[in-house]
Structure 1
Amino acid sequence: MSVDPAVSSARIRRCEILLLEPRESADFDLQDLLSGGNGIRRQMRWVALAPHLGEPVDVDAMQRELLGRIGATQWQDVPADEDELAACEALLRLGLLVSASPGDEAALQVRQADDRQREAYWHPLAAVLHAFTRWEGVDAVKNTRDSGTDTAVGMREVLGPPPAPTAVAADAESQMLPLQDDTDFDVLLARRATCRNFDEHRPLPMAMFSTMLARVFGARAHVQVSDDLRFQKKSSPSGGGLHPTEAYLVVQNVDGVAPGVYRYLLDGHRLLRLPDPPMGLRAFAMEALGQQHWFANAHCLVTLVPRFDRTFWKYRRHAKGYRVVALEAGHLSQTMYLSATDLGLGAFITGAINERCLEPVLQLDPVQQGALAMCGFGWRAASMETAELDPAGEVWTRAG
């Protein structure tokens, strides 16, 4: 068994974050079926989930055991046993072990990726969740159509009855609360509805576009604690007052702004132009949105991009850190909905996005930044071609 001499003298440690998962797969086996079985062959394997790699990696029994014995903090010599040495060499190639002195470009990239992971202070389970729930090439529309769940009736037929909206015992005592007369704010809330029908023939005025960005993502005030520490006050709350979520825009139909990809800079209320996606703007929007065509023609699409390293600077390896970041996306989208409704516009948010399509175009490192959701806003179309949830007719009655 030949082992690279450089490996024999290497100092190694395990990557910082690693989860080992036993996975079961099922394949059709004709021979099993012909011999009286059910035709299904099931196999078990171990899969390593390391966020700095971004892809699951199969490992064998010896590799699995070595990963459990080699620590993630202290550098150590490789084992002397010949079989274990060969297993270490394989784990170095896979990127699950890292070398103190990388010998080639691939090993150097693994070391740098693991270093970035360490410097971002992720909680291990949150890092695994974030890294391995990112989509690439998913057609969310086709998936729901193929499963028969693309309509409410279809969902009921395929999935059965859902849990009740309110789970409470029938004989539970409760207290009635008095209803109050509606105010202007109640009227605004009643008109809030997710828009799935945008008017791509009517440009959005610059004034409305600028107002939306200022209201939702702009800073209202700030507190300067020191030369390098400033807390922003925005329209939406943020865990620790850190406001890590930035807005990356796909502008498609706005007066005075060329169609393209932009990063919104709240300091100075400015737009920074980014390179156009190679596939073209509309194709990029469709791919990013998982082929949800009813959203893709919004006048302005907004990808909510948290800077995880900013939140985790305070909440280091904190069990609730990722949850705090996710909450902020909800706050921002509701502010967007209410602002759009106030201006007579439509808005949406979706989590069904292809993050891996967005990351290279928006120039994101998913360890430190990430596409968490996509929103959008613009003029509503004159007619409803795609169904919207507006049971009281608050929106479409007004649209005529």
Structure 2
Amino acid sequence: MQVRRCALVLVEPREAIDFDLTELASGETGVRERLGWVALAAHRDEDIPLTAAEVAALGALSPGHWRSLDELSQRHPRAVLEALMAKGLLIAQEPVDETSLQFARADDAVRAVHWRGLPAVMHRHTRWRDVDSEAVERLFAEASSETLLERLGPAQPVVPERVEAARRMPLPRPATSALDALMERRVTCRNYESAPLSFDAFSAVLYRAFGARAVCDYAPGVQLLKKGVPSAGGLHAVEAYLLVRNVEGVPAGLYHYHAVAHALEPLRPLDADAAASLARRFVAAQAYYAGAPLQIALVARFERNFWKYRNHAKAYRAVILDAGHLSQAMYLAATELNLGAFITAAINEVEIEQAFGLEPMAEGPLAVCGFGVRAKERTTVEFDPAHKVWV
């Protein structure tokens, strides 16, 4: 059997603390510290406990060259190698069962995209699944009566002051423009009307935020897009995947927005209950965002960005910036039409991946945004300190 180490894996020394009631009863603190090793692999969702012998073997195995298992057994205990195979960290060239086949396919998917190690592991292991943020907040509030400052300590200042006030160089404020007025009305919306969003407004915001203004044949076989926002290398590697619940003329369901054709690609129809359930799960049970008429998952096409920026230290950062540019464009486009908008990174990425059929290391959700008609009454707090929306 030919094997090699998985493509990208980090090993973390980790301390776990638990309580021993027997020690506590004998007059000790009862606190017990356990030190161990954990593997974080870019193709596995789980944290994988390792023994010291497994750590030593893992560090001596090549991720790029296939080696005979019998040959490796001359240098490492066979039981250790088999344990690494069972944990999906040592990959078989010809898998012998369904589990090893799944490990091999997941590892191949990571290799195909040209990830760099640190961001690959960070991306894989910071995804949420089945998180209910409202339930977490309730439990936290019930567990402690401390104020925010008591719990967290002094807050950092809103602006760091690097010199004395007398040394600052005052700058003239510009004359108020239409852009100023638009930006002042940009307020994250948490209160949405139950009435449908008009089809024309829906189409206009999608185009202004996500639509392509031009297609450029940069080189043979290489096309770049011109949009209303910047993008690393002109690649525009962040796609808009939509969960539509309440838009005039658009049946509830899952869609992909085609930026060049300015069109929706239907992926799966949903009834009202299924759409509402997905909307809540996508945004980790943040009810105020689940009530919007649509949600847009900003999905990074890592395979497009990393095609050019292979194993690049800045590539992951650049694609996250792309998502930020798009969300601000959506905010301004929605605000111009007197609509409310939101964005949140508190999302259940795994549920979004499963709903849209995404391979997480090739196409990964970064955030969820959306827009709709703002409610006439504010029942959930919104941050509008200048009172430009709520008087």
Q: What range describes the TM-score normalised by the shorter chain of this pair?
A: over 0.9
Give per-residue Cα distances to partners, 1:325-372, cap 9 Å, x unaligned: 100111011001000000010000000001111111111000101010
Give per-residue Cα distances to partners, 1:57-77, cap 9 Å, x unaligned: 111111111001111111122
Q: Which residue of 1 aligns with 2:7?
A: 16
Distance 2:117 2:252 in 1: 39
Specify which of 120, 130, 154 is matched with residue 137 of structure 1. Answer: 130
CA contact (8 A) 1:25 1:43 kept: yes
CA contact (8 A) 1:277 1:361 kept: no
3-state SS of 2:363 partner: coil
Distance 1:367 1:297 in 2: 29
Unaligned runs of 5+ in 2: none
Q: Which residue of 1 aligns with 2:313?
A: 319
CA contact (8 A) 1:306 1:370 kept: yes
| TM-fit CA distance, 1:227 | 5.0
3-state SS of 2:224 partner: strand
Q: Which residue of 1 aligns with 2:282?
A: 288
Change in Cα spacing, 1:170 to 1:80, as seen in structure 2 (3 Å) is: closer
Distance 1:204 1:353 in 2: 23
Q: Which residue of 1 aligns with 2:85?
A: 92
Distance 1:370 1:317 in 2: 17
Specify which of 171, 187, 193 is matched with residue 181 of structure 2. Answer: 187
Q: Which residue of 2 aligns with 1:125?
A: 118
Q: Which residue of 1 aligns with 2:384?
A: 390
Change in Cα spacing, 1:227 to 1:81, as seen in structure 2 (3 Å) is: closer
What amino acid is the match of 1:209?
F
Distance 1:192 1:286 in 2: 24
Structure 1 residue 252 corresponds to structure 2 residue 245:
yes
| TM-fit CA distance, 1:138 | 1.1
Q: Which moved more, 1:347-356 or 1:25-34?
A: 25-34
3-state SS of 1:372 partner: strand
**Equivalences for 1:257-336 in 2 at 5 Å?**
257-276=250-269, 280-336=274-330
What amino acid is the match of 1:332?
L
Distance 2:358 2:232 in 1: 22
Distance 1:354 1:55 in 2: 16
CA contact (8 A) 1:148 1:158 kept: no
Change in Cα spacing, 1:188 to 1:83, as seen in structure 2 (3 Å) is: closer
| TM-fit CA distance, 1:146 | 2.8
| TM-fit CA distance, 1:82 | 9.2
| TM-fit CA distance, 1:55 | 1.5
Distance 1:205 1:244 in 2: 28
Distance 1:179 1:171 in 2: 21
CA contact (8 A) 1:305 1:372 kept: yes
| TM-fit CA distance, 1:179 | 1.6
Distance 1:220 1:316 in 2: 27
Q: Which residue of 1 aligns with 2:140?
A: 147
What amino acid is the match of 1:135?
W
Alignment RMSD (CA, Å): 1.8
Specify which of 205, 208, 212 is matched with residue 205 of structure 2. Answer: 212
Specify which of 24, 27, 50 is matched with residue 33 of structure 1. Answer: 24
Distance 1:20 1:290 in 2: 29
Q: TM-score, structure 2 length as denominator?
A: 0.94
Specify which of 62, 66, 76 is matched with residue 67 of structure 2. Answer: 76
Distance 2:353 2:147 in 1: 34
Change in Cα spacing, 1:266 to 1:22, as seen in structure 2 (3 Å) is: same
Distance 1:197 1:156 in 2: 28
Q: Which residue of 2 aligns with 1:239?
A: 232
Q: Which moved more, 1:168-177 or 1:296-305?
A: 168-177
Change in Cα spacing, 1:277 to 1:45, as seen in structure 2 (3 Å) is: farther
Q: Which residue of 1 aligns with 2:192?
A: 198
Distance 1:253 1:384 in 2: 20
Change in Cα spacing, 1:277 to 1:123, as seen in structure 2 (3 Å) is: farther
CA contact (8 A) 2:252 2:269 kept: no
Structure 1 residue 374 corresponds to structure 2 residue 368:
yes
| TM-fit CA distance, 1:287 | 1.1
3-state SS of 1:210 partner: helix
Distance 1:343 1:337 in 2: 10
Give per-residue Cα distances to partners, 1:278-331, cap 9 Å, x unaligned: 971111111111110001011111000010010000110100000001001110
Distance 2:45 2:73 in 1: 31
* Matched residue count: 384
3-state SS of 1:211 partner: helix
Structure 1 residue 62 corresponds to structure 2 residue 53:
yes
CA contact (8 A) 1:148 1:155 kept: no
Identity across the alignment (%): 43
Structure 1 residue 159 corresponds to structure 2 residue 167:
no
Specify which of 342, 352, 358 is matched with residue 358 of structure 1. Answer: 352
Distance 2:54 2:270 in 1: 40
Distance 2:88 2:151 in 1: 42
CA contact (8 A) 2:247 2:294 kept: yes
Q: Which moved more, 1:164-173 or 1:260-269?
A: 164-173
Q: Which residue of 2 aligns with 1:7?
A: none
Change in Cα spacing, 1:228 to 1:82, as seen in structure 2 (3 Å) is: closer
Q: Which moved more, 1:273-282 or 1:341-350?
A: 273-282
Change in Cα spacing, 1:145 to 1:80, as seen in structure 2 (3 Å) is: closer
Q: TM-score, structure 1 length as denominator?
A: 0.92
Distance 1:239 1:180 in 2: 30
Distance 1:170 1:36 in 2: 54
